[in-house]
Each structure stands twice: as structure tokens, then as C-alpha cells.
Chains A and B, each alone.
Chain A
Amino acid sequence: MAGVLSRAAAIVGAAEAKEIGYPETPKTATQLHIEAIKAVSVQTGIPISRINGVFGAGWSSQISEYLGLHPSYIDTTAVGGCSFEMHVHHALAAIHAGIIDVALVTHGENGWSARATHGRGTGRGRGGGDPWDPGSMFTNPYGISGAPSNYSHAMTRHNHRYGTTPSDFANIAVVTRQWATLNPRAVMYSKETHPFGGPITLEDVNTARLVSWPLTLLHCCLVTDYGGAVLVTSPEIARSVKTKPVWIAGAGESMSHSNMLEMEDFTATSAAASGATAYKMAGMGPEDMEMAMIYDSFTITAGITAEMLGLAPRGEGFTLWRDGHAAPGGRLPINTNGGGLSFNHSGMYGMQLLVEAYRQLSGTAEDGINGVAGKQTSAKSCVVNGTGGSLSTTGTLVLVAD
């Protein structure tokens, strides 16, 4: 039986900034936000002035001010890449409670342009740690720098516990690239869009240069620019707009730790909990899902998450990709946009998951991806799972089309 919040709101539109990926001229985060917000307003016919809830991973008040909005619900939940799935969860509750009826979830991040204009990190970081991350005094001294250097420890532990290999997980990179070759907006769409674009093989992944053993470069996501926005509304508004609703049948969120120092089981994430909550609210289970959008900051992230969401047994998540089930034409398409691995990953990738899930379920992918044809599935249900931090935080949504 579905929970009281199930289908209490719908996503009615999803759009992106004009130029994403590696823009020729550097973009600002604000520009990426605003282009996407304008696009989703045009797509749905809902005026920006009609928005009464603003949800963003930080900066919600600045974006509201920029738009001249005075929202009655302001959410700045910023717990990494899953923040946007959590925003949808929170918007669902706020709409059900009658506080708001049009929620904007927005993201703009110039992962690529920021590097172009400011350079990469210096790693000089404070050895004393950050006041808001008390464990960091005991992790900063040890040369851990950025996500890959932490996630690799999870791969090693998974290999040890289940007898898996990095090559097993390389299948995820290969299949995800197959999807990217179907999406003209993907950075790795073809040799024209990127020198290393187009199809890749297991050997390519296995022999790419090591970033943090056992992760080679092709086990790791891109660093790009992205702007995306979705509108979540009450059922009444969802039925009245020109776009098709995608119903929020289930939502859940959880966390296991913040600093990886406190990650108890390196082969598990809190997606087991957030997924269970979302499925329960929806009155559905993993067997009812016709596609999945799973955060793939690294191959290990997607592999473990598939296990946590019940899409495969523990230790066997990678088989969905290896055996072709997750691939184009497979029984459970996963990451149909080409993923964080080959489509786009700006730093926090949860918005990209939402936009693609909406496109596939609403059928707007059929009409085109920003003007370019791009239908990939005919799925009517999708589990969406964001992962933030160092396999730390998770937000899960079960989305369904009429």
C-alpha cells in the first residue's frame, strides 16, 4: 500500500542550460542556473513569477533574489550530489502540506569553467581540518585529495569481500559509454565532441592511466559545466499544464557518514535505507522498475548502488552491465543519458539524473534533447538514486508516468 505522500506532487518539466559540458567560453554558475530556469518555464508554460518554493544546493536565496522572487519555502540542503533528489523529497512534503504548490529545484555548476579560470586545487588545505568537519583533522594529513582517492578504497574492499575485480566494474564504464553515443549532448558522444569520445572497450578502461588504484581514469566521472532545473507542482497544477506529469510515487533519504573515516561497511551505502523508504512509499519494489538512473561518480558507485536498491544481489551489481541488462536494448536500462562517466558530471550530478528521468518517462526525449532527437527507452517507471560526499548521503526517488 502506498504512503500518504505518494503521488502528492509531480515533476512537470525538466530543462538544461544551453551550453553544457565543455563550453568554448567559460560560464558562471549563475548563468547555468538561469538558462535552465528560463527553459523549464518556457517548456511548462509556468511563469517564473508563479514559483513559490526554491530548492538548491546552497545559494537558494541568491537565486531567488536574482529572479526577484520572494518564496515562502526556501531549502538549501547541500549534502553533495544527492541534494537534488532530497530537494524533490522535501518539495513533495511541502506541497502535500499545502505550504507551496510550485517548487523550483535548480542547479548550476561550472566544474569545467572554474578550472579554466581559476586552475585546479593546490591541496595546501588546512592540516587542522575544517571546523564543520571535525574528523578531517585526522584525514587531511594523509594525501587524500578529492573523490577518486577515497572511492578507490571501496573498490578494493568490494573486490576483497566478493571476489570481484576492477575489470568487472569496467563493464559499467563500457556500457555507460554506449548510452553516451546515443546522446548528442554527451561530452563523450563521439570523436567530434571529444578526442577520446565514442565507444570504448574493457581493455581501454583496464589500461587507462591510474588515478587512484584500482581506479583508472575511465572508472572516474567527467568534470564539466551543467545547468539544470525541474519544476515540481501539486497534482491540480500538474493536470493543467501543457507538459506531461511524472509522478513522485516514492521518496526517501538517508546517510551513513560524512567523512569516509566513519564509513562502517565499505561495500554498502545508505541507498539501502533511502531506497527501502522510497519503495515503501510507492507501494512498489525493484522488480517494478523499468529503468534506473543511478549516480555514477565512479563505476564502484553505480555497482554498489544497484545492489543497495535491490536491482541485483549483494556483490553482483556489476553483472547488470556485464550481461547487457543495463545496456541499450536491455531489460533494465541504466543511465540512459551516458551517465556521469560519459555524459556530464559537474561536481554534483543529481540534477542530471532528474532531468534524464523526466525526459524518458514523460516522452519528451522523443521530441528531442534540446532540439536533437534522442529517445532511448519506453519506460514508465524509474528509480533515481543520488549519492553524495564519499558514498556518504543518498536520496532515492521512485518516479512513474501515467
Chain B
Amino acid sequence: MADYKKPIPEPDPVSQPFWDGAKSGKLMLPRCTSCNRVHWYPRLICPHCHSMEIEWFEASGNGHIHTFAVQHRAFGGWADEVPFVTAYIDLNEGDRMLTVLRGVDPNKPESIKIGGPVKVEFEAATEDVHIPFWRVVEA
């Protein structure tokens, strides 16, 4: 992981519970205890009802592909990996994450299915920062 050349997130107080979970392989999500809705990215205030009572819970780690694209041009560490597939993932618990999609052939985008199921996995970029990636799984 010392050779992780791509951008590495810098956890802050608001997002720290997510990164703590990621380090132990858990997908933690923020949820408002007032309206019970999940939001992503993590916030100090619920964007739905504006309550500031936010809790973290362990999510299933399952989701579906909302939409995707194949990047043929990238910069920095990602430039070495083109083509690669980026996708927005609908989380089973609600809201959406961006990922680089795994388990797909970037040269056959027509074989990638919107709505197809995906599961989260984590890659250790540093000892403390494990980045979530989503992988296509069998329906």
C-alpha cells in the first residue's frame, strides 16, 4: 500500500466514523434519527429535515448500478489504469456513492448492466485509510 499512487482521502471529524468502519471492513453510513433517512456524503445536518441528530450504522454493503461510464483519459495515478469504469451506486439503504467499478471489462461496456447488483470491498491506501470500491456480483 506504500505504492498507492492515486488520491487518498484525508479523514476529518465529520467523516471519521466512516473511515474507522472501513478499516475493519464495515460500510458505515450516516442516518438521521429524526426522519430516519440515510444521506451520503456525511454531513453535520440532515439535508432532508435539517435535524442535527445523526447516527452511524453498519450498512449491508449491497447496492445496484445507477449509471456508469468508461474513462479513457485520466490524470495522476489513474492515468496508468485507463480504461477503467466509474459508476454511481444506489445503496440498498438509500442515497448514492461514486466508485471505480470492479469485476467488469472496460472494453465491453455493453456487457455492464444498469441495475445490476454490486457489493462493497475496501482497499488499504494507507494503514488508516481503506477506500471503498464496489464489485459486480451475481444477481
Contacts and interface: CB of A to CB of B under 8 A. Distances in A.
Interface of A: 120-129, 134-135, 137-145, 148-149, 152-157, 160, 209-215, 259-261, 266
Interface in B78-106: 78-79, 81, 83-84, 86-88, 96-100
Given A143-B71, A145-B78, A157-B114, 18 more contacts: A121-B75, A123-B76, A124-B7, A127-B10, A128-B12, A129-B9, A134-B41, A135-B41, A137-B9, A138-B40, A140-B9, A141-B7, A142-B100, A149-B71, A160-B114, A210-B83, A213-B72, A266-B67
8 contacts: A141-B6, A142-B98, A148-B73, A156-B67, A210-B70, A213-B72, A261-B40, A261-B88
A138 B96 CA distance: 11
Contact of A212 (B66, B73, B75): B73
Nearest to A216: B72
Give the one of A138, A148, A266 with max B CB within 10 A: A138
A157 B8 CA distance: 28
Interface residues of B, number: 40
Contact of B73 (A124, A135, A145, A266): A145
A93 B70 CA distance: 44
A27 B79 CA distance: 29
Given A123-B78, A153-B86, A212 B7 contact: no
Interface of B: 6-10, 12, 14-15, 40-41, 43, 66-79, 81, 83-84, 86-88, 96-100, 109, 114, 125, 131
B100 A143 contact: yes
A266 B114 CA distance: 13
A149 B9 contact: no
A127 B41 CA distance: 15
Nearest to A139: B98
B66 A266 contact: yes
B78 to A, nearest CB: 4
Contacts of A140: 7, 9
B69 A143 contact: no
A140 B8 CA distance: 8
A141 B97 CA distance: 12
Residue with the highest number of chain A CB atoms closer than 10 Å, among B9, B81, B97: B9
Contact of A126 (B10, B15, B41): B10
A129 B41 CA distance: 12
Contacts, number: 129
B2 to A, nearest CB: 15
Nearest to A123: B75
Contacts of B96: 261
A148 B118 CA distance: 25
B8 A149 contact: no
A65 B81 CA distance: 47
Given A126-B10, A211-B72, A143 B81 contact: yes
Contacts of A157: 66-67, 114
What 3 A-B pairs are tightest by C-beta distance, nearest first? A123-B75, A128-B10, A127-B7
Given A138-B40, A142-B86, A142-B99, A122 B75 contact: yes
Residue with the greatest number of chain A CB neighbours at <10 A, chosen from B8, B77, B88, B109: B88
Given A135-B41, A156-B67, A211 B73 contact: yes
B7 A160 contact: no
A213 B72 CA distance: 7
Contacts of A211: 72-73
Contacts of A148: 73
A161 to B, nearest CB: 9
A105 to B, nearest CB: 32
A137 B68 CA distance: 19
A259 B43 CA distance: 14
Contacts of A120: 75
Given A143-B71, A143-B86, A123 B9 contact: no
